[in-house]
Amino acid sequence: MDAVETRLTTIMTSHVGQTGGLITALRSAQAAFGYLPPETDAVAAEAFNLSRAEIKGVISFYADFHRAPKGRTVVRLCAAEACQAAGGRTLQAAVEKHYALKSGETSASNDLTVEPVYCLGLCSCAPAAMVGDKLVGRADVDRIAQAVDREKETDA
């Protein structure tokens, strides 16, 4: 058992028997590693006496779980109906061009991820985005770029 499996086993077994233990364990693992490493499925299946397919199903059901590390700053562009009607696709294309990243990708330097999200609860200010944990209403490329710069300054 390597170091990742050992750490995952410790995390998983500490939540066995709890109500909602699997979700809590997966959230803890993601907090520990920044994402869910490939070994997660097997370790969680063993700990919770479930199949790997069941674990995979749970992980893929929840959009908050991710299988690869994300960038230090994450730009989420709303792809739901109200934002699409207010120019969301045009905004997505402009942001992708500005950062030379397709939605769902992380930059090679690992400083930025651009990804879709399905409603941020800011429909009245569509198109909406989220940069880190900050909402951006009536988003355009300039406002998103300013929010990204602020986020990077905060991290520095």
Q: Out of 77, 122, 144, 148, which residue is the one contacting ligand FES (CB under 6 A)? A: 122
Amino acid found at 65? F
Which residue's CB is nearer to ligand FES, number 45 or number 80?
80
* Residue of 47, 126, 131, 147 interacting with ligand FES (CB under 6 A): 126
Q: Nearer Cβ to ligand FES, position 101 or 126? A: 126
Cβ distance to ligand FES smaller for residue 43 or 126: 126
Q: Is residue 9 within 8 Å of 47, Cβ to Cβ? A: yes
Interaction pattern, residues 72-91, with ligand FES; x per rule: CB under 6 A: ------x-xxxx--------
DSSP 90-132: HHHHHHHHHHT--TTEE-TTSSEEEEEES--S-GGG-S-EEET
Whether residue 35 contacts residue 66, with contact meaning beta carbons closer than 8 Å, is answered with yes
Question: Which DSSP category does 63 fall into?
Answer: T
Smallest distance, ligand FES to C-beta of residue 89, A? 12
Answer whether 138's CB lies under 8 Å from 124's CB: no
When asked if residue 135 is in the footprint of ligand FES (CB under 6 A), the reply is: no
Q: In the complex, which residues of this chain contact ligand FES (CB under 6 A)?
A: 78, 80-83, 119-123, 126, 128
